[in-house]
Amino acid sequence: MEKNGKQIILVICIYLLAKSVLNLFLGFGAESVMNLIVMTVLAGVLICRIVKGRWIVGAALIIVCLFHLKDNLHGLPGTWIYLAEGILDVGAAAVLFCSKDVEAYMNSSKER
């Protein structure tokens, strides 16, 4: 279970960084740079297995999704990529909240 959890966490961290870099290319600005910094910190929280880190990262993903939802829905069809990103954010948060493998990995102390 821990091995699967570690792989899931790694995929989510790659997703967080990839989406931030993509957003940086799509619309370079202070908000994009700040987003890259925040997502890098959140990925670090997961990698370091901070206590309750999966809840923090999942909540942050949900908040970001909800914050941008109105604009993404209003701008359709031109904002479909951002809407897809929001769906992936909710999916990643659901995995962080519900996966027993992720829970086992985050709560294990073998590698600490």
pLDDT at 111 over 70: no
pTM of the predicted model as reported, rounded to 2 decimal places:
0.85
| pLDDT band at residue 109 using 50, 70 and 90 as cut-offs | low
| pLDDT band at residue 40 using 50, 70 and 90 as cut-offs | very high
pLDDT at 110 over 70: no
Pick the closest to residue 3 from 104, 72, 87 (CA basis): 104
Q: How far is CA 1 from CA 4, 44, 63, 81, in A?
A: 5, 21, 28, 33
pLDDT reported for residue 112: 47
**What's the pLDDT tens digit per position in 15-37?**
999 989 988 888 778 888 998 99
CB count within 10 Å of CB 51 equals 10
